[in-house]
């Protein structure tokens, strides 16, 4: 009797250890990665003959996605700023990033106004005399997850201002490109 109950006790202890291990795995970082991302990042690299560079973060906020950017090496003034269709920074002119990210099939527009816009239309970066621009805005329509998620797509900073004219804002060439990826946890 004594031996048998010890064996049962050992088995029970083994089961406790096994379930504790599973609980640890379920809460560990490996499992967290499979959850929905709450933060994304794009590192901007200069196109040929450009010095523009910087970092953009996209983080989940209460009412949308907060976009924070710091870009240097720009000519003073406004520069069109968009999410583009492809997360492809492989071409020297930035054109591999394709056109504006437009999963809802809308016209180009100004995100600060009501009315149609490409989902990727972020307006303009405004560079100061030193060539530095910062941007900090909460966009209610820009999802990090779901069918119109921005992760995996590209970001482009243009040579000229986006004047919100059709079809794509007349912002000219591309001075920096980046790819939006899932950011390392905070
Ligand atoms: Cu663009
Ligand atoms: Zn657009």
153 is catalytic: no
pTM above threshold 0.75:
yes
**d(C-alpha 39, C-alpha 120), whole Å:** 17
Catalytic annotation present for 158:
yes
Give the distance (Å) from ligand 2 centre to CA of residue 84: 8
Å from CA of 102 to ligand 1 middle = 11
User: Residue 39 catalytic?
Assistant: no
For ion ligand 2, residues whose CB falls within 5 Å: 100, 108, 118, 121
Residues 6+ away with beta carbon under 8 Å from 1: none
Residues 177 and 103: their CA atoms lie apart, in Å, by 20
Q: Which one of the ligands is nearest to 97 CA? A: 1
84 is catalytic: yes
Q: Is 79 a catalytic residue?
A: no
Only one residue has tokens 């406790």, namely 16
- Indicate the burial class of 144 (C-beta count within 10 angstroms; 0-12, 13-18, 19 or more): buried
Per-residue pLDDT of the chain (186 residues; tens, 9 = 90+): 455 554 545 454 544 444 444 444 455 444 445 688 999 999 999 999 999 999 999 999 999 999 999 999 999 999 999 999 999 999 999 999 999 999 999 999 999 998 999 999 999 999 999 999 999 999 999 999 999 999 999 999 999 999 999 999 999 999 999 999 999 985
């Amino acid at each position: 009797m004594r031996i048998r109950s010890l064996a049962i006790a050992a088995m029970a202890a083994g089961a406790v250890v096994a379930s504790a291990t599973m609980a640890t795995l379920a809460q560990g970082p490996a499992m967290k990665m499979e959850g929905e991302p709450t933060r994304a990042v794009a590192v901007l690299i200069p196109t040929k003959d450009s010095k523009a560079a910087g970092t953009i973060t996209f983080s989940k906020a209460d009412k949308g996605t907060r976009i924070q950017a710091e870009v240097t090496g720009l000519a003073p003034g406004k520069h069109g700023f968009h999410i583009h269709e492809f997360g492809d920074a492989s071409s020297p002119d930035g054109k591999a990033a394709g056109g504006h990210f437009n999963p809802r099939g809308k016209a180009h527009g100004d995100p600060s106004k009501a009315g149609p816009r490409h989902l990727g239309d972020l307006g303009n970066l405004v560079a100061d005399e030193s060539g530095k621009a910062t941007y900090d805005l909460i966009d209610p329509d820009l999802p990090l997850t779901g069918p119109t998620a921005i992760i995996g797509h590209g970001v482009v900073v243009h040579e000229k201002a986006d004047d919100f004219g059709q079809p794509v804002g007349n912002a000219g060439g591309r001075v920096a490109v980046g790819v939006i990826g899932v950011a390392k946890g905070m």
